[in-house]
Chain A
Amino acid sequence: MAVASIRSGEWGFKGVARFRRVARWAFLVPATAYVLFAFVIPIAYNLILSFEQTSLATISQLFAPSAGFSNYSAVLGNPIADSAIVRTFSFTVLSLLFQFVIGFGLALLFNLRFPLSRFARSLVLVPWLLPLLVTGIIFKFLFQLQAGAVNQILQDVGLISHPVGYTLAPGWAYVTVLVTNIWLGVPFFTVLLFSALQDVPAEIVDAARIDGAGPWQRLIHVKLPVIRPVIEVVFVLGFVFTVKVFDVVIGITNGGPANSTQLIATWAYNLSFQDFDYGQGAALNTVLLLIALVAAPVYIWLNRESLRGDTL
């Protein structure tokens, strides 16, 4: 406020000052309108839908008859939705774990500075840039039963004697989708953790070295604590990306076989757009929303500095 009054003082006209204040708000109008349109209203409407009795016939009305909690009880009582929720959790945890271990390993590797490291680092980004659905389709092709690349490699190495129908058996289908998701998430972890490692001040590391700390100790006791905030952010964002995973599953298995790779997001899609029951789809969406929002307080806390309202 102080800044504003000094500025208006320069001009000396109260009207101009008020005009300028309005002009400032005008810069925010498109974004505010957009946030309302694309986020606030859809989320609110999703809540409304989740309490309505919907069918294809009701789509022509903006508000359908009330259904009480029946959509929620129907969805949560459905064994497919149940296992989809559990599966979403296990899928998220396993994905993050492997993405972190592999991504951190690669980050440490690139941190060593070797010939071609720059070149290699830029190529690591590729999997992250592909459209997720296309990644799914590509892996469906690689993992296929007849003349699939993965089967061929594993047979050549001698790990398996007969081709496996990865996307055709429930357990394997889950593994296939998981491997794909890990593959496409590794670049994100690698790039962020690498850049964090680069920012660890050389003086601290050198001081530790002089104190006689070996490479392992320097990693555990010096570097890790320094980059901890980045690790936290990477995990929070990774959680947010993974918990709503959709395209990859649809691309590889479409939730099958026999719903064995159905996750919350894919099953919600099924309810709304295959069975045309938007109400039940919305109810399951609310569940997904609540799970995703668990990350919100943590994410905001990690970004607390940007909330302070600093200006130039």
Chain B
Amino acid sequence: MRTPGKLAGKALATAGALAALVVLLFPLYAVVIASFENNGQLIASSHYNFFPPSWTLSNYRSVLSAQGGHVLSSLIIALGTAVLTLAISLPAAHALSRYRFRVTGLLVGGLLIAQILPSIVIANSLFVLYHHLHLLNSYPGLILADASYAVPFSILVLRAFMLSLPRDVLAACRCDGAGEWQAFVRVVLPMSRSAIITVAVFAFLQGWSDFIFALTLLSGGTFEPVTLSIYTYVGEFATSWGEAMALATFAVLPAAMLLIAAQRYIAAGLTVGSVKGLPVKGFSIKGLPSKDYRRHPMRITRALAIAGAAVLTVTAAACSGGSGSSGVGPGGKVTITEFDYFTTGGGSQAITQFNKQFMKTHPKITVKRTDVPYADLITKILQDASAGDMPNLMMIDNPDVPEVAETGQLVPLDGMPGYTTKGYTPGAIGECTYQGKHYCYPMGTNTVGMFYNKAMLAAAHVSPPKTWAQLQADAKKLTTSSHYGIAFDATNDEQSTWQLEPFAWSNGGKLSDVDTPQFEQALQLWVNMVKDGSASKSVLSWGQDPDLTQQFLHKKAAMIEDGPWIFPELNAAGWKYGKQYGIVPIPVQRPGQKVITPLGGETADIGASGSTAQQQASWQWIKYMQQPSVMKKLTSTAFYLPDKPAVIKQYLKGGPEYTVFAKEIESAEPRTTQYGANYPKVSQAIWTAIQSAITGTSSVPAALRTAQGTISSVPKVSG
């Protein structure tokens, strides 16, 4: 009976469903579109393009070259999770469906509860336990953890399915005198083919999608699945959306492919896994035909065996790299390991060149270098420190030095032959000092200044700011509908504290007393510039590099607070100091105040776990770096300033763009003077206050009062 009303209803339903689909699928469309868009286009554009004006493959090119390995890692993890899950669940489901145990109810109840347990709870414990089992940063460790998503679900689904198998086949098998194992392998497994596929698909997707365990149980350096690499990527390059979305496309690909290939298994598994066993009449395992087992009875077992063997081989290959030794080979040759976070750019180039040159002049020493992302290095080193298995040499960000030294896993340099503090800037020595001992030499130094776009300032008829009042007025005048007057870094990490420090310190503020007018005025200045629209609210999510650099280069910001590490990007874009841009010191509140900026830069440190020969060889490496000619070359390649005033003088002849920073460094201070190893806690309290104040969650004084509450409970450096 087809009535016009019914037809209209159907048309309406179709339209409704399509509308719902548009909403549900639009995000995916947006991802794919953005992955083909030019990054510069995405940043510079003032409105969203539903259909981009031009297309590019460059995002995929750079993602494939930089992240291709992560896709492989994800595949290994996902396959491993699927294989392990099946290996555990199949026998258990078989036993629970075929034999009567007194504990069946208890076991099934336990599995139901296991499904409920939050993964973050498990991850927290596993992190410490894995530490002792040496399973951190390993495929087996991560796969074992990832299977926890899938095992309870799989056993329950497989058991429910096996319970529905026809009795007579098993009975016949039993009559033939087949053993338990044979009945399981020859009859139950082939008949459960479709349920096995369902479970394998789910376990694969869980392993592929995992983020919590990857985040907590891996610390970079060894391998990284796609989820973790997207997270790190977006954290590091907050505005490089084109590449991030190309990476996201890779991450969603398996889901899309599986949906096409195994749709009915997924839908069935979802339903069965959730509601099987319920007293609902008519619930059957739909979409899971059990009849096609006759065709290829052994196929699954064989496929599983092959997949398992493949995973084991790859895992073994991946695990077999590197193990500790005294590092001393025949003929007195010494091998030392070196860790840093210069994954790209000038820093990476500088270290590579330096290592080459060092090995040429020291033929008995071999340096093995590993670079891991910034966010991972300190976690990795702290983990290694607690395990007593440090790299021989490491380049640590200077505010982190006391925290690592506190573990007792760094070698003090005071006893090393020829160690001296003479000829260095006081800050360089200060940042390496912990409890009266010296643990490092800086590789180079930097700090922040105010970059400005010359053309924009000229067009707005303003001169570079020297005081806060000028800064605020300039920023306001420089703001137009297409760009902001100023940009700085107010993200929720150390970088935003580091960018506020010069304002607060020059104004007389101290880290130990942040609820004072000196500190409040500095933060208020930032808040005012966001409030009056001179700075974008996005400062809350823009890192100083490359986000601020990109804003500056794409002329979205007339001034940015940044440092010499952005020179390579400016050079690459053809921007010249004194022509396109200029730099002034961080403005002070009143004329005549001295600019006090925080000292930045990495330090070279020696780990305590190496042999004496390795420690001595590492010291040779650090000492070699201190020769004026080497220091000059290294720092200029890495875009740092040297730490010896004598070398700085020569240095400025070839690089006038460093002049402002060289001047600032004369009075710059290390961040760790007051709180040593506890500086990160203080910094966190301050960046939390910065974010509260800029978002308007609390007033500036209230935000800093809260921060003071935290800081007051943090112990200071004694003496």
B668-688: CB near A (< 8 Å → 1, else 0) gives 000000000000010010001
Closest to B703 in A: A258
Residues of B contacting A: mostly? helix
Contact in complex: B538, A168 (CB < 8 Å): yes
The distance in angstroms between the C-alpha atoms of A170 and B698, with both chains bound, is 11
Among A33-41, A65-73, A89-97, A206-214, which stretch is in contact with chain B?
A: A33-41
Chain B neighbourhood of A310, CB < 8 A: 163
- Shortest CB-to-CB span from A87 to chain B, Å, is 13
A221 within 8 A of B: no
Residues of A contacting B: mostly? helix
Contact in complex: B180, A24 (CB < 8 Å): yes
B45 within 8 A of A: yes
Contact in complex: B20, A141 (CB < 8 Å): no
Q: Point out the residue from B46, B126, B212 that lies within 8 Å of A147, measured CB to CB.
A: B46
Contact in complex: B24, A257 (CB < 8 Å): no
A205 within 8 A of B: no
Contact in complex: B212, A114 (CB < 8 Å): no
The distance in angstroms between the C-alpha atoms of A308 and B46, with both chains bound, is 63
A39-B148 contact in complex given A59-B386, A126-B25, A265-B118, C-beta closer than 8 Å: yes
B317 within 8 A of A: no
| B404-452 interface (Cβ within 8 A of A) | 406-407
B305 within 8 A of A: no
Chain A neighbourhood of B124, CB < 8 A: 42, 46, 49, 268, 272, 278, 281-282, 285
A145-B45 contact in complex given A41-B125, A43-B121, A60-B387, C-beta closer than 8 Å: no
- Shortest CB-to-CB span from B237 to chain A, Å, is 12
Contact in complex: B695, A257 (CB < 8 Å): yes
Closest to A271 in B: B124
Contact in complex: B216, A187 (CB < 8 Å): no
A224 within 8 A of B: no
Q: Point out the residue from A30, A49, A132 that lies within 8 Å of B211, measured CB to CB.
A: A132
Contact in complex: A240, B278 (CB < 8 Å): no
Among B250-258, B499-507, B568-576, B638-646, which stretch is in contact with chain A?
A: B250-258
The distance in angstroms between the C-alpha atoms of A139 and B24, with both chains bound, is 12
B19-61: CB near A (< 8 Å → 1, else 0) gives 0110111111011001000000011011111100000000000
A126-B125 contact in complex given A34-B88, A137-B244, A305-B277, C-beta closer than 8 Å: no
Contact in complex: B21, A124 (CB < 8 Å): yes
Chain A neighbourhood of B329, CB < 8 A: none
B593 within 8 A of A: no
The distance in angstroms between the C-alpha atoms of A248 and B48, with both chains bound, is 23
Which of B16, B128, B538, B694 has the largest count of A CB atoms less than 10 A from its CB? B128
Chain A neighbourhood of B203, CB < 8 A: none
A106 within 8 A of B: yes
Chain B neighbourhood of A112, CB < 8 A: 9-10, 13
Interface residues of A (CB under 8 A from B): 1, 3-4, 20, 23-28, 30-32, 34-35, 37-39, 41-43, 45-46, 49, 56-57, 59-60, 62, 106, 109-110, 112, 114-117, 120-135, 137-142, 144-149, 151-152, 165, 167-170, 183, 186-188, 191-192, 195-196, 199, 201, 227, 229-230, 233-234, 237, 240, 243-244, 246-247, 250-251, 254-260, 265, 268-269, 272-276, 278, 281-282, 285-286, 288-289, 292-293, 295-296, 299-300, 302-303, 305-312
